Amino acid sequence: MLAETIEFEIRDLKPLIGAEIRADKDTLLSGKYATRIRELLEQRSVLLFPQVGFTNDEQSAFTQTLGTQASEYNGRPSEGGTLQPIFKVSLDKKVNPLAAEGLKSSFYWHLDGSLHETPILASLLTPAKLSPTGGQTEWCNTYAAYDALSEEDKKSLEGLKAVHANWQRDSFVYPEPSYEHFKAASSAVSDREQPLVWKHRSGRKSLVIGLTAAYVVGMAPRESRDLLIRLRDWATQPQFVYHHEWTMGDLVMWDNTGTLHRALPYDAECGRLMIRTMLAGEEPFA
């Protein structure tokens, strides 16, 4: 396991995913180690800052030390039609009237911004109120999952594209929607073809899959579903997954371009509230 001490302490959480960084607020907010933190994010995919206890403003300030803070949620305005630098993740419609119901799709493996040319680089999440049961978050490393595929599988995925669609994501929350609802979901965001294998500028490759992947272009429906489900099951094996039990004050940051994530189900009435900031995307799917 990696052990490193500078003005903060770093240790690996699992062999293939995750690192814990222990540092005080002033060290993190200074920006002095922003480059090192970004390197660790690319290497380890998920970074845990246990019980650092940032306020909303401090979380925004820390986010801005690492890059450009995004002021949107998946390309949509959040509250009152205005883009927000802080997004409140809640199933309570009084807290998040625009997105609360749709956030139930977060119980399924996904990456944010899969319907856009350039997805967000990273998300940073901290709890404002925890659920008594459930509500843990899991991430899987889709770089490591791709690397572990057989050479035959890698060759078979070359050049394949999948259509990602808002209506596909919506089907997880509304498995039998009205036609009106389906049309609204279909028109909210345009379908987009994305490569099944993202060839990053760094030379690394990751899988682009998850709940928005509707079908593989050029494949018969059953063959397409077989491949997408097989790849999801492969990528979410325990060796590729970090499971986080939240405590108040924790901050977790993840590389959205090389992971999938999901929240484990919790009671919509429990008041669970998470505060999220994001780093704007820097690289389009390719």
DSSP 114: T
What confidence tens digit (pLDDT) does each residue in 149-165 have? 999 999 999 999 999 99
Mean of the pLDDT values across residues 182-208? 94
What confidence tens digit (pLDDT) does each residue in 15-64 have? 999 999 999 999 999 999 999 999 999 999 999 999 999 999 999 999 99
Rounded distance between C-alpha atoms, residue 270 and residue 248, angstroms: 16
Rounded distance between C-alpha atoms, residue 83 and residue 177, angstroms: 28
pLDDT of 6 reads 55
Instruction: Record the pTM.
Output: 0.92
**Surface-to-core class of residue 81, CB atoms within 10 Å of its CB (0-12 exposed, 13-18 middle, 19+ buried):** exposed
pLDDT of 43 reads 97
CB 185 within 8 A of CB 133: no
Mean of the pLDDT values across residues 82-99? 78
Residue extents of the structural domains in the chain = 3-98+116-131+244-258+266-279
Q: What is the fold, at CATH topology level, of the domain defined by 3-98+116-131+244-258+266-279?
A: Double-stranded beta-helix (3.60.130)
Q: Are strands 19-22 and 251-255 parallel, antiparallel or unpaired?
A: unpaired
pLDDT of 74 reads 44
Q: Among the residues of the chain, which ranges form H helices?
A: 25-29, 34-44, 56-66, 142-147, 151-157, 166-173, 179-188, 221-235
User: Degrees (nearest 5) of the Cα angle 144, 150, 153?
Assistant: 100
Write the CB contacts of 17 (distance below 8 Å, at least 6 apart in sequence): 44, 45, 46, 139, 140, 141, 144, 240, 241, 242, 259
What confidence tens digit (pLDDT) does each residue in 116-150 have? 999 999 999 999 999 999 999 999 999 999 999 99
